[in-house]
Amino acid sequence: WQKREISNFDYLMYLNTLAGRSYNDYMQYPVFPWVLADYHSKTLNLTNPHTFRDLSKPMGAQTVERKHKFIQRYNEVEKSEGDLSAQCHYCTHYSSAIIVASYLVRMEPFTQTFCSLQGGSFDVADRMFHSVKSTWESASKDNMSDVRELIPEFFYMPEFLTNANHFELGCMQDGTVLGDVQLPPWADGDPHKFILLHRQALESDYVSAHLHRWIDLIFGHKQHGSAAVEAVNTYHPYFYGDKMDLNSIKDPLIKSTILGFISNFGQIPKQV
């Protein structure tokens, strides 16, 4: 990778595989970064650093205001064992079965998976994945319970952005009927152009020079411990699957609660 003999995409897939992530497990699906912060311009300038997301910071720290709110949350919660209110920055995760299924909801078999995770039907239309720009704004600044990252399909599969199966996904409060995913202006309404430019962004010089910082957060030394606290990158203890010794928990209710928590909210990748 340092010699530029493999792409950033291939390198990330390799790291995901090493960390135990797989297309075969929605709960441990490959995780990819948001790489852009510009979803409003008519043309995409990949030579401008301001076009890109800050890869040295987790999604919860993309804005100063939001970062301080999460630090405040961390400082307010006392350390506690076996309690859902453990000391951490984030009580939600950047990758989970429901996040994966929501991104791919317009394609089978993910449509059925999403509905089964939702109790048999689609979610409220306003909460469905309907716009790349609004999803970025939710995950990077607007929603304190949303710190989601992306999945590999955002860099090679235009089909998941169109409602080719004509599913009735509902109608939003402002009257918008959900269909195809709304794309940024620079994509000209073309999913293929979006994927092409998005992949170019992933392979750009800026991302190549900064990608290792994101890798540190997700797969490396800033994943847990004091480095994670300093990086505003700590998650609920239940998300650290390899750190949890479930066999030592005798109470079946607590054990099932923890397992349910992990399956619904995601897991931290194994440290590479």
Contacts of 104 (CB under 8 A, 6+ apart): 110, 114, 151, 153, 160
List, as one string, the DSSP characters of 182-221. Answer: BPPGGGTT-HHHHHHHHHHHHTSHHHHHHHHHHHHHHTST
Q: Is the distance from CB of 55 to CB of 213 less than 8 angstroms?
A: yes
Q: Is the distance from CB of 237 to CB of 86 less than 8 angstroms?
A: yes
pLDDT in tens, 218-245: 999 999 999 999 999 999 888 887 666 6
- Helical packing angle, 8-18 and 205-218, nearest 10°: 10
Percent of the chain with pLDDT over 90: 75
Work out the pLDDT band at 138, boundaries 50, 70, 90: very high
Picking from 102, 38, 23, 92, the residue whose alpha carbon sits closest to that of residue 238 is: 92
In the predicted structure, residue 265 carries a pLDDT above the cut 80: no
pLDDT for 106 equals: 97
pLDDT for 194 equals: 98
pLDDT in tens, 61-111: 999 999 999 999 998 876 555 555 678 999 899 999 999 999 999 999 999
pLDDT in tens, 146-190: 999 999 999 999 999 999 999 999 999 999 999 999 999 999 999
Picking from 83, 95, 72, 106, the residue whose alpha carbon sits closest to that of residue 179 is: 106
CA 91 – CA 236 distance, rounded (Å): 5
pLDDT for 80 equals: 52
CA 48 – CA 38 distance, rounded (Å): 10
pLDDT for 242 equals: 63
Q: What is the mean pLDDT of residues 245-255?
A: 74
DSSP conformational letter for 138: I
pLDDT in tens, 188-202: 999 999 999 999 999
Q: How does the average pLDDT of the chain come out, rounded? A: 92
Contacts of 75 (CB under 8 A, 6+ apart): none
Work out the pLDDT band at 119, boundaries 50, 70, 90: confident
In the predicted structure, residue 255 carries a pLDDT above the cut 90: no
Burial 67-92 (b: 16+ CB within 10 A, else e): beebeebeeeeeeeeeeeebbbbbbb
Q: Tokens at residue 95, please?
A: 């990758």
pLDDT for 259 equals: 73
Asked whether the bond before 109 is cis by omega within 30 degrees of 0, the reply is yes
In the predicted structure, residue 250 carries a pLDDT above the cut 90: no
Higher per-residue pLDDT: 260 or 165: 165
Work out the pLDDT band at 1, boundaries 50, 70, 90: very high
Q: Is the distance from CB of 187 to CB of 194 less than 8 angstroms?
A: yes
Prediction pTM value: 0.92
pLDDT for 245 equals: 65
Higher per-residue pLDDT: 256 or 21: 21
Domains parsed from the chain with CATH numbers: 8-265 (1.10.1540.10)
pLDDT for 246 equals: 67
Picking from 16, 94, 55, the residue whose alpha carbon sits closest to that of residue 214 is: 55
